[in-house]
Structure 1
Amino acid sequence: MRVGILGGGQLGWMTILEGKKLGFEFLVLEENTRAPACKVADGCFTKERLEEFFRLCDVITYEFEHVDEEVLNFVSPKLLPSIDVLKIKRSKVQEKLFLERLGYPVPRFTHCTLKDLKNKLEEFGLPAVVKSESFGYDGKGLYRVYTLEDIQSIIQNHKPDEVFLVEELIDFDFEISIVGARDKEGNILTYTPTYNYNHSGILLYNYTLEEDVKQAEEIFMQLAEDLRYVGILAIEFFYAKGKVLINEIAPRVHNTGHYTLDGSYTSQFENHVRAICGLPLGSTKLKAPSGMVNLLGLSLEDIPIHELLSIEGTKLYYYGKEKRPRRKMGHVNVVSEDYQSLKEKVQKVLQTIYTGIIFGYGRLQGYAQPT
Structure 2
Amino acid sequence: MKKVLVLGAGQLARMMELAGTPLNLDVKAFDVRSDKVVQPISPEHEYGDLAQGIINCDVITAEFEHVAHDTLSECEVSNKLYPSSNAIKIGGDRRLEKSLLAACQAANAKHYFVNNKTDFDKAISTLSLPIIFKSALDGYDGKGQWRLKSQADAQDTWQDIEKFLAESKGSVKQGIVAEQMVPFERELSLVGVRRLNGDIAVYPLTENHHTNGILSVSVAAPVNSDLQQQAGTVFKALTDELNYVGVMAIEFFQVDKTLLVNEIAPRVHNSGHWTQQGADTCQFENHLRAICDLPLGSTSLVRPTAMVNIIGEDQVSDEVLAIPSVTMHWYNKGKRAGRKMGHINVSGETELILAQRLVQLSTLLPAATFPDLAEFAQNYLAKQS
Give me the TM-score of the superposition, normalised by structure 2. 0.88
Supply the distance in 1 between the matched residues of 2:28 and 2:331 (Cα, whole angstroms). 18
Specify whether residues 35 and 286 from structure 1 end up closer, same or farther in structure 2 by C-alpha distance, changes over 3 A only: farther
Amino acid at match of 1:122: I
Q: Classify the secondary structure of the residue corresponding to 2:165.
A: coil
Aligned-residue identity in percent: 34
Supply the distance in 2 between the matched residues of 1:39 and 1:267 (Cα, whole angstroms). 18
Amino acid at match of 1:241: D
Whether 2:184 is the aligned partner of 1:183: answer no
Supply the distance in 2 between the matched residues of 1:35 and 1:205 (Cα, whole angstroms). 32
Provide, for residues 107-160 of structure 1, a one-character-per-residue CA deviation record: whole Å limited to 9, x for no partner. 101111254464134312210111000000111112222124166366346134
Supply the distance in 2 between the matched residues of 1:343 and 1:366 (Cα, whole angstroms). 11
Which residue matches 1:206?
A: 218
Provide, for residues 154-173 of structure 1, a one-character-per-residue CA deviation record: whole Å limited to 9, x for no partner. 63461348410111111111
Which residues of 2 match residues 44-55 of structure 1 at below 5 A?
A: 44-45=46-47, 49-55=49-55
Amino acid at match of 1:13: R
Which residue matches 1:137?
A: 140
Which residue matches 1:24?
A: 25
Specify whether residues 37 and 324 from structure 1 end up closer, same or farther in structure 2 by C-alpha distance, changes over 3 A only: farther
Whether 2:306 is the aligned partner of 1:291: answer yes
Supply the distance in 1 between the matched residues of 2:328 and 2:53 (Cα, whole angstroms). 32
Provide, for residues 195-218 of structure 1, a one-character-per-residue CA deviation record: whole Å limited to 9, x for no partner. 111112211001113222221122
> Residue 289 of structure 2: which of 271, 274, 283 is its match?
274
Instruction: Answer whether contact 2:37 2:46 (CA < 8 A) is retained.
Output: no
Supply the distance in 2 between the matched residues of 1:365 and 1:154 (Cα, whole angstroms). 35
Amino acid at match of 1:70: D
Q: Classify the secondary structure of the residue corresponding to 1:177.
A: strand
Provide, for residues 301-324 of structure 1, a one-character-per-residue CA deviation record: whole Å limited to 9, x for no partner. xx22x2221222111101011222
CA RMSD of aligned residues (A): 2.4
Specify whether residues 165 and 20 from structure 1 end up closer, same or farther in structure 2 by C-alpha distance, changes over 3 A only: same
Deviates most, 162-171 or 28-37: 28-37
Whether 2:70 is the aligned partner of 1:58: answer no
Supply the distance in 1 between the matched residues of 2:199 and 2:192 (Cα, whole angstroms). 11
Which residues of 2 match residues 240-259 of structure 1 at below 5 A?
A: 240-259=255-274
> Residue 106 of structure 1: which of 108, 124, 149 is its match?
108
Supply the distance in 1 between the matched residues of 2:347 and 2:274 (Cα, whole angstroms). 8
Provide, for residues 273-329 of structure 1, a one-character-per-residue CA deviation record: whole Å limited to 9, x for no partner. 0110011011111221111000011112xx22x222122211110101122211111
Whether 2:230 is the aligned partner of 1:215: answer yes
User: Unpaired runs of 5+ in structure 2?
Assistant: 169-173
User: Unpaired runs of 5+ in structure 1?
Assistant: none
Provide, for residues 7-35 of structure 1, a one-character-per-residue CA deviation record: whole Å limited to 9, x for no partner. 00000000011011111112211045699
Whether 2:251 is the aligned partner of 1:239: answer no
Supply the distance in 2 between the matched residues of 1:254 and 1:2 (Cα, whole angstroms). 22
Consecutive aligned runs of 4 or more in structure 1 exceeding 6 Å deviation: 33-36
> Residue 226 of structure 1: which of 231, 241, 261 is its match?
241
Which residue matches 1:3?
A: 4
Task: Tell me the CA shift for residue 184 of structure 1.
Answer: 1.1
Supply the distance in 1 between the matched residues of 2:235 and 2:323 (Cα, whole angstroms). 34
Q: Classify the secondary structure of the residue corresponding to 1:197.
A: strand
Instruction: Answer whether contact 1:26 1:41 (CA < 8 A) is retained.
Output: no
Which residue matches 2:93?
A: 91
